Chains A and B, each alone.
Chain A
């Protein structure tokens, strides 16, 4: 029997209720993350990847409704807003965010925030011990001058330092799973590599599993073990990173790979996928990508393709790979 995965998401369907409409942000997403694995969710803005991350972290906004599905973490069922399990020191899911500057309350010293999180998760009450722990975490994320950082307000720190602080806060609960929502998107290119390396280092040292959310397939290729490609709230393809890059099946994945700018080919035109994502208030009943697909046939406009197992560990949702055509 296969080892039970750390996190299992089954049939997750999430809507956002707006004043005059309902946005079907995520539909029937199922996937799993193994222990120590880095899984990347890749997709354009609005593909529902952040929503999935927030759902797992238990921090969906108030107007989000989970219509269907289960999230199973360490064989325990967790779901819904704020319903995070809090038993045991190892059973934590923590999250880091795209914009570290707005992820921290501007009126509180970062030391105070991390102290509260440490107190809450580790149950330490002694303020000296809490500070020691915080400084240790700051050193772990390679922050220079941790004492000064502890006594700083967010506006006194740079973006890269803030992201390290946020990572330190996330690590303070000894999490088993770290959800990283585009953690490098808002940073300078040189910092991006630093933060990515830091995350990879931490994974090695702490045996952390990670759900890495990004719109950048290049970043995903560098960090991940496995990649899930999402489009307009649905999973369209899932495979091991190397397999996905070498043998992309879904036309959308192929388009994404072609869109990665290549520095060694000069004078080539920057590629893009024509069209925009469909209206999620009323998503099509047929293939979600058909409108932008260059290989769409009549069937694509009639029936929604299932997510089928194309080969071992490689799933795709496209009529081109139906069993009877293979």
Chain B
């Protein structure tokens, strides 16, 4: 059952408004609240000339409403300023780091989703049994463990002691140069697969495993706990009782009917955490030297690279809105009552 066209259009129009709101807010925060935004924009060691240039760039000599219009125009034309740390346009930096993070986060969430739901279902079915206790203990520990610590331990154990997996970077430069690998989409795994470049694919896959599993720890625990709680609630509902009374096999009741009821809140919560994991991944990215947007944002913050930081903030905010719109659309596919 596809999403109705009207609902889709409605959501997209809403999305545009929300993004407009995001831009308005970032405009206020970055241009109105600082006393002299051009000082921040030009960086801590800027000369008078550079500051004057930044003033021009930010259109601070214009009336406020024109400033906002020009701000929107700059945003749409991709003129996000130059990061003075990397000397590259912020937009280019942000896009290339965003895909690195996306590759990591998507794999992490796939792991969390694929493992978390069965574990949660199992715990719900074996309620008050040792399996349930075990799942609850593991998920509490997993959810409360600091992610950088987990990352360091994983790196130490699997990378250093056991030497099973490489524990830094996305790809070995040597292999990429020798095989003549060029990334087009920014997703190494997809690119290398499309180009039939097996050495790079295997290398990239081996390198993504550790950070992805570490990053998956929290969403896995969230999914498992949420699935368990919702499943227990769903199992006690009347419509499940009626299916039992109507003699449907337990397998069908559980995996066709109850699972669908369970998916609604689980997907909603996962979608939310997916949004903030994009930048929250920076701990993992720092430990594994993963050139993602979290890493980039952290580095930019540390060196007061104002244009880059703002670029990251806007990107993540917009990304968050898009992910939530997608979650809402998925939600409406699963639950017909949402399609209003």
Could you list which residues of chain A lie within 8 angstroms of chain B, going by C-beta atoms? Answer: 54, 57-59, 61-62, 82, 84, 86, 92, 94-95, 97, 99, 102-108, 113, 116-117, 120-121, 153, 155, 166, 169-170, 173, 179
Contact = CB atoms under 8 A, between A and B. Distances in A.
B336 interface: yes
B242 A97 contact: yes
Given A59-B241, A107-B261, A120 B336 contact: no
Nearest to A166: B242
B242 A106 contact: no
Contact of B247 (A104, A153, A173): A173
Given A61-B241, A82-B244, A92-B247, A107 B336 contact: yes
Contacts of B264: 107
- Enumerate the 10 nearest inter-chain pairs by beta-carbon distance, A residue then B residue, closest first: A59-B245, A102-B238, A57-B245, A95-B245, A59-B244, A105-B239, A103-B242, A153-B336, A107-B260, A84-B247
Interface string B226-250: 0000000001111111111111111
Interface residues of B, number: 26
B134 interface: no
B246 A117 contact: yes
Interface of B: 235-250, 252, 256-257, 260-261, 264, 334-337
B32 to A, nearest CB: 47
Contacts of B334: 107
B238 A173 contact: no
B336 A155 contact: yes
A78 to B, nearest CB: 12
Given A82-B250, A117-B248, A121-B247, 4 more contacts: A95-B242, A103-B242, A117-B246, A117-B247
A86 B247 CA distance: 8
A106 B260 CA distance: 10
A254 B14 CA distance: 64
Nearest to A170: B246
A170 B247 CA distance: 10
Contacts of B261: 105, 107
Contacts of A116: 248, 252, 256
Contacts of A153: 336-337
A120 B248 contact: yes
A104 B337 contact: no
A104 B242 contact: yes
Contact of A173 (B240, B246, B336): B246
12 contacts: A82-B244, A82-B250, A94-B247, A103-B238, A103-B239, A105-B240, A105-B243, A106-B239, A108-B260, A117-B246, A120-B252, A153-B336
Nearest to B335: A107
Contacts of A121: 247
A153 B339 CA distance: 12
A12 B335 CA distance: 41
Contacts of B249: 120
A86 B249 CA distance: 11
A306 to B, nearest CB: 32
Contacts of B242: 59, 95, 97, 103-104, 166
